[in-house]
Chain A
Amino acid sequence: MSTPLLIAVLLALTAAAYVLGRRRSVAESGGVGGVRHLHSLPSYYGSYAALWCLIPALLVLAVWTAFQSTIVTELVVKQLPQDVQQLGADRLGLVLNDVRNLAGGNVVSREVTPELRAAADHLRSLERTSAAAMAVAVLSLGIIGGGLAWRQISPRLRARNRVEAIVSVLLITASTIAIFTTIGIVLSVLFESIRFFRSVPLTDFLFGLDWSPQMALRADQVGSSGAFGAVPLFAGTLLISGIAMLVAVPIGLMSAIYLSEYANREFRAVAKPVLEILAGIPTVVYGFFAALTVAPLVRDAGGFFGLDVASESALAAGLVMGIMIIPFVSSLSDDVINAVPQSMRDAAYALGATPSETVRQVILPAALPGIVGSILLAVSRAIGETMIVVMAAGLSAKLTANPLDSVTTVTVQIVTLLVGDQEFDSPKTLAAFALGLVLFVATLGLNVIALHVVRKYREQYE
């Protein structure tokens, strides 16, 4: 039985449990007239039976599907000939892939030996057994759970309280998923990073000036070690983010000031949503725009002034990233500027200040913590931005401050290292996780600082 069908059958069982539970509660109370003798409304008795039918079965289903493929693979490996089992993890993975392809009726990359055929048959029979056993286990658990709950139903059963207890457990579980996601991110990135730092020392990674992660295919090849000094990546990331902030902060801040202090209502009603469109455009579109339109423009402009501009210049990527970030700066600053009370403006005007003097000497100082916070959030956004730099920035790790040169960033390297075929024990792949750890820590730190700045230095008005 396929999983979607199984889930459909389980849902049908649940619905049946609801109807039966409800009916039993009415019958136990002595017909429709006796419903008032029940502790709870009849629908709660139905829900009680339905929840007991559904939840245990779903849990088993989830655990089973999560671990099925690992266990089946393990069993197939056990059955493979001894010499195949002795192979390294990567070679064994290739053999297993062939076994899977053979079982699925796909093209196989090697000669089909009897052992391979036997392993494929074994795999297929195991998968079939597992699917059947899962269906039996899930459905019988549903029936047993629903049945037990159904038998408990009597007018004195406190069904509402029990259902509400179950629901509140579900609610708590749902809200802890955020914690588990964070733990998952930290653990997955940290584990692989620790494996990486076993082969490459932490100081070499953080302070090394040479980044060339290309590992050789054979161990005895020249220059097979690769170099994992991440400083050029950090420098490139900072360069591109810096250019982006040079574009985004003045434009974003000035438009927020203009729209909230000067513009009339009609202009504001049009311009603000249009600027916010920029925030909704997918980053891959910006990447395409950068590579197709802005990069040639920058190169031609550079050529016009007699400058030598790389075709994947940091300037082009940074400009487009700046455009992307404008709405973050402008809408966050807009909020803080609007939060400055009108009485302060009125006081400044009453003293004879012009609007611009009011903005510069009263509003901006009052709104400064919020603006700084929004700029920090924008920086963390720029550092973590991926698609624009993947499509418009280069791959060569150069340590340069020249915006016309091509640089690479942390996110670009993560993508390059992890896209395509990978073996999971080479430092090349693990380096991506180490870079991910740096990225995670940096953005997290910026966010914490931003929130702290906003909270600590915010002036409380009224």
Chain B
Amino acid sequence: MSNGTPSSAGAPRRRVLDAVTGSLSRRYASERRFRLLGRIAVLSGLVFVGSLFLSIILNGYSGFFQTYVKLPVAFEQEALDPEGKRDRAALATADYGALVKKSLQAAFPDVSGRSELRELYGLVSSGAEYQLLDMVEADPSVIGTTRDVWLITSDDFDMVYKGRIDRDVPESDRRVSDRVLGWLDALEKQGAIETRFNWSFFTNGDSREPELAGIGGAVMGSFYTLLVCLVIAFPIGVAAAVYLEEFAPKNRLTDLIEVNINNLAAVPSIVFGLLGLAVLINFFGMPRSAPVVGGLVLALMVLPTIIIAGRASLKSVPPSIREAALGVGASKMQTVFHHVLPLAMPGMMTGMIIGMAHALGETAPLLMIGMVAFVVDVPRGFFDPSTLLPVQIYLWADSPERAFVEKTAAAIIVLLAFLITMNALAVFLRRRFERRW
């Protein structure tokens, strides 16, 4: 800038130099401000990621555990099997709820009055009677004896024990009365309360009772749906990518297809749900809430992603491969299917896995095709009514019970675990098979 050669116009030039040096501190300050802003932006992004995960994990880890209470249960002969025939059908219809109630009363003999008794019975989940039924069916010889049984507690009890319901809140604002807290403390002193890992959370279907609800049905529903999606979207996606990249002549139709694919990739997912509702369900009369319909809709939704990824990976195969194959007399089709496609396959698989991960987390279009139904049974086929993992999360998030909050967050942890695994697999494939030409 200033070269220091003396000249007649020395005075004004010194003024320029002064202006430059004089403004330096201001410019450096603005430089520091800009850099600080950038740092704040990145950090706030990282903080968002952190707080999202933290909030989910803190809310959800306790959802994988369930509180049990140990009670002596008298399997009375006259209540269960008065005729003493051990007939399976008769045993299955006996009143096991009464057994649970009696053992609760025996544990707290001084409780009386209708509302107090109802509160006492509310300690134990309505699923406890099925526990007893299972015990009797597994081993009928327990009838007539008294055994200590670990029974599933109700959601309120579970929440108090896990500290999710604040004991310091005045009783009138609390879901659980002081009486119940007293019983809990008494049981805890006896060592009759225990928290166990909740395996049934992974195998059960949905339930109105948070302590019995599980994601088994939702995971199976997601599995069937993704299978349909994969079987439809992958071959079509690969075929379309191969045609557009390797064979398509440059004409109006090809341009139209390309513009279409790019636009479809940006269409909101809920619009695909409208398509599924109007065409698949109303026009073709396919069943609502079925994995096959969900899979079709999701396949149409992820198809653009798969095609775009597939074309990118075909494009990265160098032309020399094609020329060499053509040079030794392969037909165009043989060149593509024997040489180019195998080399592009890792990239296509990566794109497909990312597309599947996207489909696994998608919720909105599935709401349109009736997959929000309350489904208790674990689906066993492609046409059974079923719910999916993200839809299950949505349904539970809407439920008023406090205990569903931790179940929702726990289900989200499972969903995120699936997604992280799939993305890690995609990254692994890319690292392992990616070739630089």
Contacts and interface: CB of A to CB of B under 8 A. Distances in A.
A binds B: yes
Interface residues of A, number: 93
B interface: dominant SS: helix
Contact of B56 (A184, A251, A285, A414): A285
Nearest to A384: B268
Contact of B35 (A164, A259, A278, A356): A356
Interface in A386-424: 386-387, 390-391, 411, 414-415, 418-419, 424
B341 to A, nearest CB: 12
Q: Which of B363, B372, B415 has the most CB of A within 10 A?
A: B363
A293 B409 CA distance: 12
B303 A177 contact: yes
A282 B46 contact: no
Interface stretch (B36-44, B175-183, B208-216): B36-44
A284 B394 contact: yes
A178 B274 contact: no
A170 interface: yes
A171 B239 contact: yes
B38 A258 contact: yes
A182 B257 CA distance: 10
A152 interface: no
Q: For this complex, into which size category does the number of interface residues on chain B fall? A: 35 or more
Interface stretch (B62-70, B144-152, B240-248, B344-352): B240-248
Contacts of B33: 356
Contacts of A67: 284
A403 B251 CA distance: 49
A62 to B, nearest CB: 11
Contacts, number: 261
Interface string B49-62: 10110011001000
Interface string A247-265: 0001111110111011100
A262 B37 CA distance: 12
Determine which residue in A185, A433, A444 has the highest number of CB atoms from chain B within 10 A of its CB, and name it. Answer: A185
A415 B235 CA distance: 31
Interface in A37-93: 66-67, 69-70, 73
A316 interface: no
Contact of A282 (B1, B242, B415): B415
Interface of B: 1, 20, 27-28, 30-31, 33-35, 37-42, 44-46, 48-49, 51-52, 55-56, 59, 235-237, 239-240, 242-244, 247-248, 256-257, 260-264, 266-272, 274-275, 277-279, 282, 284-286, 300, 303-304, 307, 331, 333, 357, 360-364, 367-368, 372, 390-391, 393-394, 397-398, 405, 408-409, 412, 415-416, 419, 423
Given A282-B360, A386-B363, 12 more contacts: A160-B331, A167-B333, A171-B239, A178-B261, A182-B263, A254-B42, A258-B38, A285-B415, A323-B48, A354-B31, A380-B266, A424-B282
